[in-house]
Chains A and B, each alone.
Chain A
Amino acid sequence: MTVDPRALAELLEESQDLQADALRPTRAALDELVDAAHSSGPEDVTSNQRFHEEHRRELRSSFAGAALLGAAGGAALVGVLASAAGASSSKDIQVLQTAASIENLAVATYKTALTLPYIGGATANGVVTKFATVTMGQHVQHADAFNSAVRSLGGKAQTKPDPAFVPVVNKAVKSLTGASAATGTLAVVGLALELENIAAETYSKDTSLVAKTSSKELLASVMGIEAQHVAVLLAVQALLNANAPQLISLSEPATVEALPAAAGSVGFPNAFYKTSSAAPASQGAVK
């Protein structure tokens, strides 16, 4: 299956144009953030430090909850990560910087994945390629939005990936060297799945931690999109595990009819989205 790059480019361009409607509430939220930042008083350093300390303790549980990322020695990073990262910034800034760091890592991961022949090459499944491309673009927009919000609140934009997960992702990517297309695709899907789930769980949890309405609105507008990424990756992973990659296809009713019954529900296993793998709120704060 091949992908028409021109058609894809047109699609992405169209997406950016039509994105304006969906972005309107987000932009309004960002404007609101600016107003709120201007009217707010001095940062409560003690409160911010307490927030940081509380979430520092969550680092271990974060690694424990993440199967793939946790198993790769992430706990060893706790001491490093638990330093003074972002301790002087407000709660909202720390949360939003952490969100940006997760998005940055997701962008880097998809970018790397798309260089692999079985993800972004001519031999790759077209749906997988399109999903990875579109999703990477969405994470770029998410990072921009979170950093705009950070700057509006007077903080520094987070341009680096989440430090806790970088070595783990690097190790996972390195392990793909020499992998077969089938094995490599499954590994990439598994890694992306875990990253997407951490993002969705983190934003879901953080909506009740942030103070400003605009921060809640921004997190809420992104977490559902990440959850959709999770749903798609779960379905893709299940079909790959079932040796049915030919069913990872769109636009053909015949393919839908051939999908196994379980494919209709494998994408949303829980009635309530969990937060046990959420990243600590200050994990990606700018030091």
Chain B
Amino acid sequence: MSKRNDKAQFAGTESELNAMTTELDELNNDVAVPSMWAGVSRMIDGMRGDIAGRSTSRRSFLMGAGAAVAGGATLIAVGSTPGLAAAATRAESRLHVADTAMFPPAGYTGDLAVAAVAASLENLAVFAYNAGLMAATAGKLGTVPPAVATFATTAKSQHTQHAEAWNAVLKAHGKKAITATNPTLTPTVQAAFAKVTDVTGLAQLALTLESTAAATYQAETSKLKSTAAIALSASIEPVEMQHIAILYYVMGMYPGSQTSAGSPLAFSSTAAAA
């Protein structure tokens, strides 16, 4: 691959791209999000036969999901290393020390255990992106390209929606929402974030998180029992993979899953699964 050396400036058409993105956002809100919540609702109905839990009507679930979307949820990082937390907002930096061996919590079995792990991974991603955005705003990462900032903001929003979807499933089955970050991976992410000094380092950390999430969903898609749970997992994995592709692109690398040597992969791997 040859390199371009002409530093190209983008001028005059930002509004076109913004308009396009706005249209896509509206389409997402008008079509994809309601469709997804309907899918999650069906998932809950579908899982009833497999999972013993408190009966929750579709209506009450949808109301709960709406509240979750509107209000958001406080994230709690598991662990006591302050690196990641220090860069996050006050609401998202409270530490909650949990026993790794007790995660998923007792009573979260089968598909609900997967839902708990998935929610914890999504929480960790939200936490990391938030910490990165805060560090960038504070000027700790040097110059942040606009596309990178938009990437982080949008990816964080989507991970928030993913966490809400899994937590809605948990709550509909009488379980508490998982508001903690994944206990196994949080210390690693905290340690990695402490070493981040620029945008490239942050992008590499994000790449690790996205790869873990995508691999986990890929692995769980074939292990989940509920058809609806499989569908939800399969609707999220491709999005995490898209995050990976664009992360590579903004890092100036081939925009797709690849080996450490940079060779594109035709099949995604589950090696990084949580």
Contacts and interface: CB of A to CB of B under 8 A. Distances in A.
A26 interface: yes
Interface residues of B, number: 88
Contacts, number: 307
A269 B14 contact: no
A141 interface: yes
B267 A208 contact: no
A271 B157 contact: yes
A224 B266 contact: no
A9 interface: no
Nearest to A228: B245
Interface in B5-42: 5-10, 12-14, 16-18, 20-21, 24-25, 27-28, 31-33, 35-36, 39
A267 B161 contact: no
B255 A269 contact: no
Main secondary structure of the interface of A (DSSP, over half): helix
Given A204-B234, A264-B246, A268-B239, A141 B267 contact: yes
Interface residues on A, range: 35 or more
B237 interface: yes
Interface in A240-281: 241-244, 246-247, 249-276
Contact of B148 (A14, A223, A235, A256): A256
B103 interface: no
Contacts of B235: 204, 272-275
Interface string B251-273: 11111110101011111111100
A255 B242 CA distance: 20
Interface of A: 1-4, 7-8, 11, 14-15, 17-19, 21-23, 25-26, 126-127, 130-131, 134, 137-138, 141-142, 145, 200, 204-205, 207-208, 213-214, 216-217, 220-232, 235, 238-239, 241-244, 246-247, 249-276
Interface of B: 1-10, 12-14, 16-18, 20-21, 24-25, 27-28, 31-33, 35-36, 39, 143, 145-155, 157-158, 161-162, 165, 214, 218, 221-223, 227-228, 230-232, 234-246, 249-257, 259, 261, 263-271
Which 9 residue pairs are nearest across A and B when measured between Cβ atoms? A227-B238, A224-B241, A264-B150, A264-B151, A264-B147, A269-B24, A261-B146, A242-B13, A262-B17
